[in-house]
A and B are shown apart, each in its own frame.
Chain A
């Protein structure tokens, strides 16, 4: 990232917070700040960064807001005072509006894709073009998505302030989910995709760090940050030279990012004993067990199984049930895992069920049945790298010597 770009992304939420609070209009302020960021991106590399870049951006965005308000008033042909709330001072540099902005962008009235787009622009400081590029849609489409999201927020009438303490927990869950989805987009697409998409995973980690700075004592925020660090640490090992997927057990662990693992492990070790354990913390703990194993064979599966047992009690999630069945198979043998799969409701026909069944059948030495389920899973996935992985798996078994 260019130094200017880095600085602008960091300043974006601070500037937006200050302008939104001053004018009391989040949607318009968001547009004004985008224009100010654009002006800075054009100007600063050539003329140098101003002494107080934050003040410069607030000034430019505020002037834009005032222009709009004036022309709006002129258009309506009526006398009205400019609706600036002078009683509220612009934020002091140490005041952080990131939290308020995140709550705003992850508003319950928005669909996940709208909340993701708005969060990346308003809090992440990405341009519409960058977001459109990352999601491989036309820029005009992404611009519409963002502007419609802002219309919905405006229509909800929510003022620019933190939600009430009663609402806070539920809204925080929505924020964490949106950040989790952004990470997934970036991480999942590190296969055969552009750098810009990979940047989404970094962006999600950055947003979670900012969130954690605002609420340092929340266990689930720490858990999500640890989960992303511990997962992202395996990024380089996760694909081969032809972008093919490499499963955890076959990854070259020397390629794992030790620093990210150390940070993630320290974070989750520090957080878990504090109580109020949630699903992100447990998933992070599971990722930590994997990351700390010297080799796949050294993996502490009983520990992972215990963590999945806790996780199952916390949330009803068929994917957790699948992973739990794998852990059972690793501890008690493939027959136990397969028996659990038979009892899984709500997943019948899902390719992930076929994929897991295929793996466990392969473990159990049921060659023909494993091939059959690999092929079924390959036909069911919508992911090209995964389809290739499953197809290769089936082909490898077919050409392997038949066990007696």
Chain B
């Protein structure tokens, strides 16, 4: 079963808070994420994952006349939080996906303590079950 683990951060000023952190705290955070990714890969569970650029660099796009894209620059005051990054994992049980999300939630913050951030876990749509009848 594949799950997407979404790491949301408060919108704030349009920059990530992480850019204000002391050097050691920043490094500890990055090291934590590297270790997590390495472990997921070693377990044969990591399908993919990326960190995203800050909300300040985001664009909102919708189709205008004749389908030409109309682009609005971020950040967007109406958005309460913003997707900062995601993982897609392929695991045997939903509990395992929650376990991974729980670990990611523990990533250290600017004061070196766990951020305890909320991760949104969503099952990826798949093929139908077999054996009808």
Contact = CB atoms under 8 A, between A and B. Distances in A.
Contact of B90 (A113, A189, A248, A283): A113
Contacts of B68: none
Given A113-B92, A286-B133, A290-B133, A137 B126 contact: no
A366 interface: no
B44 interface: yes
Contacts of B90: 113, 135, 137, 141
Contacts of A112: 92
A385 interface: yes
A158 B130 CA distance: 34
B131 A231 contact: yes
Interface stretch (B45-53, B57-65, B78-86): B45-53
Given A113-B92, A247-B132, A383 B41 contact: no
B44 A382 contact: no
Given A113-B90, A135-B90, A141-B90, A386 B44 contact: no
Interface string A131-163: 000011110111111111000000000000000
A54 to B, nearest CB: 31
A384 B41 contact: no
Nearest to A149: B44
Nearest to A304: B133
Contact of B127 (A188, A290, A323, A389): A188
Q: Is the interface of A mostly helix, strand, loop or mixed?
A: helix
Contact of B126 (A114, A138, A248, A382): A382
Interface in B75-133: 90-92, 123-133
Nearest to A389: B128
Contact of A148 (B42, B127, B129): B42
B34 to A, nearest CB: 16
A8 interface: no
Interface residues of B, number: 23
Contact of A146 (B44, B127, B128): B44
Contacts of A146: 44
Contact of B46 (A141, A387, A389): A141
Interface string A212-233: 0000000000000000000100
Interface in A373-404: 381-387, 389
A248 B133 contact: yes
Contacts of B132: 238, 247-248
B41 A144 contact: yes
B52 to A, nearest CB: 20
A188 B47 contact: no
A120 interface: no
B41 A140 contact: yes
Given A112-B92, A184-B130, A384 B125 contact: yes
A37 interface: no
A51 to B, nearest CB: 39
A190 to B, nearest CB: 8
A144 B44 contact: yes
B130 A183 contact: yes
Contacts of A387: 125
A135 B92 CA distance: 13
Contact of A287 (B47, B127, B133): B133
A245 interface: yes
Nearest to A246: B132
A285 interface: no
Given A286-B133, A287-B133, A145 B126 contact: no
A141 B41 contact: yes
A239 to B, nearest CB: 10
A270 interface: no
Interface of B: 1, 41-48, 90-92, 123-133
25 contacts: A113-B90, A113-B92, A117-B44, A137-B47, A140-B41, A141-B41, A141-B90, A144-B42, A145-B43, A148-B42, A148-B44, A184-B129, A184-B130, A187-B131, A188-B127, A188-B129, A189-B127, A193-B127, A231-B130, A383-B126, A383-B127, A383-B128, A384-B125, A386-B129, A389-B128
Given A141-B41, A144-B41, A148-B43, 10 more contacts: A136-B47, A137-B90, A138-B48, A142-B44, A187-B130, A193-B127, A248-B132, A287-B133, A323-B133, A383-B127
